[in-house]
């Protein structure tokens, strides 16, 4: 699973990254987590708001830092979809 958190370093972006790391650790899943901070990379990816969460190339959240329980539910759902 590849998880990308897009954000320039603002407080919500840092919170999203920390929450993603916590959720992945608590779930014990193998995931590559990337924090994308370069504005040009965001523009190239079509990101219009931050923080943005992208899982396996699909935008899952824009404009808010998700809490750990919500992230765990989302990532569990993404894993189930990958298993089909």
- Average pLDDT for 17-43: 95
Is the distance from CB of 17 to CB of 64 less than 8 angstroms? no
pLDDT at 73 over 90: yes
Quick one: average pLDDT of 61-66?
A: 95
Active-site choice (3, 4, 6, 13):
13
Region 35-62: mean pLDDT is 93
Phi, psi of 64 (to 5 degrees): -150, 150
What is the per-residue pLDDT across 45-58, written as a single tens digit (0 to 9) for each? 999 899 999 999 99
Q: CATH class for domain 2-83?
A: alpha beta
Query: What are the boundaries of each domain within the chain?
Result: 2-83
pTM of the model: 0.93
The reply to whether 78 belongs to the active site is: no
Tokens of 10: 């603002």
Q: Binning pLDDT at 50, 70 and 90, where does residue 9 land? A: confident
The catalytic position among 2, 9, 10, 39 is 10
């Amino acid at each position: 699973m590849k998880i990308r958190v897009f954000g320039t370093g603002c407080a919500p972006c840092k919170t999203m990254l920390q929450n993603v790391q916590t959720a992945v650790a608590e779930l014990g899943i193998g995931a590559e987590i990337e924090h994308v901070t370069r504005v040009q990379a965001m523009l190239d990816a079509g990101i219009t708001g931050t923080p943005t969460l992208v899982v396996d190339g699909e935008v899952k959240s824009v404009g808010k830092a998700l809490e750990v329980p919500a992230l765990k539910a989302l990532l569990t759902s993404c894993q189930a979809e990958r298993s089909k």
